Amino acid sequence: MSTLAFEVKASYAFIERNFFIVRRYWAWELVWLVYSIVNSLSVSYIGFGMEKLGGQGIDSHFLVVYLAIGTLVWRYLSSVFYWVTDVVGMERWEGTIEYTLMAPIRRITHMLGQTAFAVVYSLFHTAVILGATLLFFDIRLANANLAGAAVMLMAGSLSFIGISIVGAVLPLLFPERGSQMTHVIIALLLLVSGVYYPVDVLPAWLQVASKFSPATYVLDGVRATLLDGAATGSLWPYIWPLLVIGLLTIPAGLRIFRWAEHYAKRTGKLHRNG
């Protein structure tokens, strides 16, 4: 029990540390939040824009809700991704990477604190954007299954955490360009996941790739619950791929990260900034 208590306290220490970092750079956080809100509203207004551009017979209200859901879900998932993949870059920025990676704690404890903060931060961030969206658009989801949407987001969090841990290895192996490479991962997921359009409009080979993206299942599941009122029990076809991806990528990511950490220490890449 004492060992467990130590691990829990250590994980909470990383949550608290990240909170203090956010508070210290509150101006940048405000800028990013305003940008995210404006970006979400801009994408959602495409729904009304299509009708004005001559799209007769288009249900603009449905299109606005469709785009708003995609934007909010993607904002949540990408926020989780960036907070986890930035675990190395943030430590280098703060000048604490050697202290953190050489501290007498388990790496799973470290990642647990990092991912827990990522989920809480992303939920809060997304809730603020949702509030702003509701102020601009008359969105009514009378038959929406909000509990089912929450279940989809939590299942999606597990799969995205696994992929994010794998992505966090890149800044360890490639100090000069590792962070840029993580942006490529999230950009490819954005392309194939159907954030702003159904994946059916993609070329056939990209439709195949979309089946390997966890965001595809999260978006389809959330839209089913909010637009069609799908019952939570009917979401299993969307949930089980997310659980499989999470169960495969989280242990694999931790193992790969551990190997990359040892490699970086041996080769002197741990403290390099470029």
What's the pLDDT tens digit per position in 162-199? 898 888 888 888 877 777 888 889 999 999 999 999 99
Q: What is the rounded distance in angstroms from the CA atom of residue 132 to the CA atom of residue 143?
A: 22
Q: Which residues contact 63 (CB under 8 A, 6 or more apart)?
A: 46, 47, 50
pLDDT exceeds 70 at position 56: no
- Integer Cα distance of 87 and 102 in angstroms: 14
> How would residue 273 be classed by pLDDT, with cut points 50, 70 and 90?
low
Model confidence band, residue 271 (pLDDT cutoffs 50, 70, 90)? low
Looking at the chain, the whole-number percentage of residues with pLDDT higher than 90 is: 33
pLDDT exceeds cutoff 60 at 70: yes
Do 19 and 40 meet the contact criterion of CB atoms below 8 Å apart?
no
Strands (E), 120-159: none
Name the residue among 227, 213, 211, 216 with its Cα closest to residue 149.
227
Which pLDDT belongs to residue 139? Answer: 79
Looking at the predicted structure, is the pLDDT value of residue 260 above 60?
Answer: yes
Contact 122, 80 (CB under 8 A): yes
Q: Which two tokens stand for residue 257?
A: 């990260």
The model's pLDDT over 27-51, given as tens digits with 9 standing for 90+, comes to 988 999 999 999 898 988 888 887 7
Per-residue pLDDT at 14 exceeds 80? yes
155 in helix, strand or coil? Answer: helix
Instruction: Report if pTM > 0.95.
Output: no
pLDDT digits (tens, 9 = 90+) for 204-256: 999 999 999 999 999 999 999 988 888 988 999 999 999 999 999 999 988 98
